[in-house]
Amino acid sequence: MFRFRIRTLLLSILCIACFFAWRNRDPESGAITAVENANGRVHFKYQGPAIAPYPDDAAVPGDSIYISQLLVKRFGATEPPIRTLTEFLVGSNPERRVVAVELSLAELKPKLLATLKSLPDLDTIVVEMPTQTIARTSKEMRTLDNIQALLSVNIQMTFDRGLTSQRSPP
């Protein structure tokens, strides 16, 4: 039989506990908190978010972009999936990852963008614009182009005309 000292046993338990704590940490929690502090919303993969525009018939000049109102609806589960033993042993579940974020243009500051860059499965950012029409060469459009290049995500622009009271709860 092997003989152990109590010190060896305690160090072994400490190493195993540190491994599981490191393996099961949530690297996205800081980004989720930052988005929520910026009055934004996050959508996880298990929620099955889908983006649908409200139909609009608007005529705008050729050098402008008309921004319609978008509705982000969740078609998946309302509660996160239950953690399994396998997930506990090998790490996070891809269903629990953030895939879409809703934010206003004013809140997209460099510090928040750096935080959003830490979300590996982020696919879409829905940006609430300050006006319903915007020039193609405006400062706001250049900002959105820079964000799209920096994060490699889809940027969807929306303008809130008061119809968002129909949004699903966070």
pLDDT in tens, 73-92: 888 888 888 878 777 777 67
In a domain, 128, yes or no: yes
Do the domain assignments include residue 95? yes
Low-confidence ranges of the chain (pLDDT < 70): 1, 55-61, 91, 161-170
Q: Torsion over CA of 29, 118, 23 and 96, rounded to 10 degrees?
A: 60
At residue 55, the pLDDT reads: 67
Q: In angstroms, rounded to a whole number, what is the distance separating the alpha carbons of residues 41 and 155?
A: 15
CA distances from 19 to 16, 84, 92, 136 (A): 5, 17, 14, 51
Residue 16 lies in a domain: no
- How confident is the model over 107-124, as pLDDT tens digits? 888 899 989 988 888 999
Q: How many domains does the chain have?
A: 1
Burial class (CB in 10 A: 0-12, 13-18, 19+), 43: buried
Residue 12 belongs to some domain of the structure: no
Per-residue confidence (pLDDT) for residue 164, from 0 to 100: 47
Whole-structure pTM value: 0.75
User: Residue 138: inside a domain, yes or no?
Assistant: yes
Residue 141 in domain: yes
**Three-state secondary structure call for residue 45:** helix
Report the C-alpha gap between 106 and 104 in whole angstroms: 5
Please give the DSSP secondary-structure letter assigned to residue 65: E
Asked whether residue 140 is assigned to any structural domain, the reply reads: yes
Q: Is residue 8 part of a domain?
A: no
Quote the domain boundaries for residue 53. 26-166
